[in-house]
Amino acid sequence: MDSEDDNIYNTDSGNESSGEEDDGLSIGLEPEPTTTKEKMEIEEFPFDVLSTEEIVQHMIDSIKDVNNVVEIPPTTTRILLNHFRWDKEKLYERYYDGDQERLFKEAHVVNPYKKASTKSHRKSVTGRPTALGMEDCEICLRDLPNAMMTGLACEHRFCTECWNHYLTTKIMEEGMGQTISCAAHGCDILVDDQTVMKLLTDPKVKLKYQHLITNSFVECNRLLRWCPQPECNNAVKVQYVDTQPVTCACGHTFCFSCGENWHDPVRCQLLRRWQKKCDDDSETSNWIAANTKECPRCNVTIEKDGGCNHMVCKNQNCKADFCWVCLGPWEPHGSSWYNCNRYDEEEAKAARDAQERSRAALQRYLFYCNRYLNHMQSLKFEHKLYAAVKEKMEEMQQHNMSWIEVQFLKKAVDVLCQCRQTLMYTYVFAYYLKKNNQSVIFEDNQRDLESATEKLSEYLERDITQENLLDIKQKVQDKYRYCESRRRVLLEHVHEGYEKDWWEYTD
């Protein structure tokens, strides 16, 4: 690919260096997302963090690598690579299997080895005679000079103005970049990058197109993933796909496999089930089942808002009288308005059992969900906690303590945040976990870690004075070391369970 081809994909990320120099006052209070052991584990899973410019260069290099083996136009190469999720080996395999025509057709590109037919004269689409050197645009139907017309390998030709309007609409309004097809109705041949950049006149539209191409490259490449942190334009590149934590240059640690915050000990599939459960109306349905009943005659949902068990259906076409407890007709109940005397009947027992099951399911979900949300909420205040600790550290340095001597507070906050994040996901894991001997051990580990984490949080919230400094420092250090140890024990136990198939899950 020559330099002109390279320039097609050049994008300006808009990130500029702040130009600020270290003033010597920084105390290094950025949160550390991982422990020392986890950093070693991350180093064993090789990955690179790429800026926007590096992403573009990586794409260009990938295209050039293929072009060194297969002599086809750069845009065709890019589209073919996208078709195979940027797996060069799969592309080579399909390319050399002998059925190249089918390959190009599947990717919606014209076979570059196929010679286009030459047409000495194009028939006017309006039916009028067309002067020599003139053509009718098939969109606006104007009779225009050949120089103002542009066509693709599919031989559909339109005027520059119509092309510009069509491409701008596709890019700016529909957000399309990778898959813009020919403007002709029913033609699925994709427009090449050189043609797009030549026909567009607005620099903003060109930049948008370049960003769409870059985004498509990352989204389709199985070895790349955007950092999910807001305002971050970096991507992470790995050598192979695995469920492992990766840390962006912005400091955010996430799961490469699913893109969510690193969620050890729960696996991606289980986390997706939990998120879907939280997002949909399943628990609303549980509440309705636990707190309402259906009229036994017309099935209208009724909520009991008083103490009387005598229910009258509000459906004007029904007006059924029935008992709230057993759902049977009210008439046989006589005067037992507050105590149903038919408790032992099979039908009544089935109705009560169904409601109790729904109520129990709701209570169980709320138990785990509330604890999950509690730790999530605590993590959202992480920046406030770091700011408060920073003030304490600065105050302690003013009382003749060195920078090194106050670092125990920052370390404690790091450990506290790591433990809260781990605990948050243990409740997702525990919600789906079936009871067995190992699950009891897991719950003991979870309870121990949670108790220690809350104690550490309590220590960090205490006022530190000159009189209690040494005592608080010792307690904080002992407690965060204990938290580190218990967190490691919990995670190692869960991972051992994965390896030995200890864990079984509810449906």
The CA distance from 321 to 318, in Å, is 9
- The per-residue b/e assignment along 361-387, b for 16 or more CB within 10 angstroms, e otherwise, is bbeebeebbebbeebeebbeeeeebbe
Q: Give φ, ψ of 247 to 5 degrees.
A: -120, 120
pLDDT at 348: 59
178 in Cβ contact with 212 (< 8 Å): yes
Correct CATH for 381-500 of 1.10.40.30, 1.20.120.1750, 3.90.650.10, 3.90.110.10: 1.20.120.1750
H/E run at residue 218: helix 203-220
Contacts of 34 (CB under 8 A, 6+ apart): 42, 245, 247, 253, 418
CATH architecture of 134-208: 2-Layer Sandwich (3.30)
The CA distance from 10 to 89, in Å, is 26
pLDDT at 362: 79
H/E run at residue 293: strand 292-294
238 in Cβ contact with 43 (< 8 Å): no
DSSP string covering 24-84 = S---------S-HHHHHHHHHS-EEEE-HHHHHHHHHHHHHHHHTTS-S-HHHHHHHHHHT
Question: Kindly report the CA angle at 283 between 378 and 276, in degrees rounded to 5?
Answer: 70
**In the chain, ranges of CATH 1.20.120.1750 domains:** 381-500
- The per-residue b/e assignment along 49-58, b for 16 or more CB within 10 angstroms, e otherwise, is bbebeebbeb
Residues in the chain, pLDDT under 70 = 1-43, 115-132, 281-290, 306-307, 333-352, 355, 465-466
107 in Cβ contact with 95 (< 8 Å): no
H/E run at residue 256: none
Q: Judge whether 308 counts as a catalytic residue.
A: yes
pLDDT at 290: 63
pLDDT at 109: 84
Taking each helix axis from N to C end, the angle separating 382-397 and 346-380, rounded to the nearest 10 degrees, works out to 40
pLDDT at 340: 57
The CA distance from 296 to 163, in Å, is 65
pLDDT single digits (tens) 354-380: 767 777 887 888 889 889 988 888 888
The CA distance from 238 to 227, in Å, is 13
The CA distance from 266 to 500, in Å, is 16
pLDDT at 76: 87
Decide: helix, strand or coil at residue 434: coil
232, 308, 313, 326: which is the annotated catalytic residue? 308
Q: 52: left (phi > 0), else alpha (psi -120 to 50), else beta?
A: alpha
The CA distance from 367 to 359, in Å, is 12
**In the chain, ranges of CATH 3.30.40.10 domains:** 134-208
> Count of CB atoms within 10 A of residue 287's CB?
15
How many angstroms separate the first and last alpha carbons of the chain?
A: 53
The DSSP 8-state label assigned to residue 240 in this structure reads S
Contacts of 103 (CB under 8 A, 6+ apart): 80, 94, 95
pLDDT at 382: 74
pLDDT at 507: 76
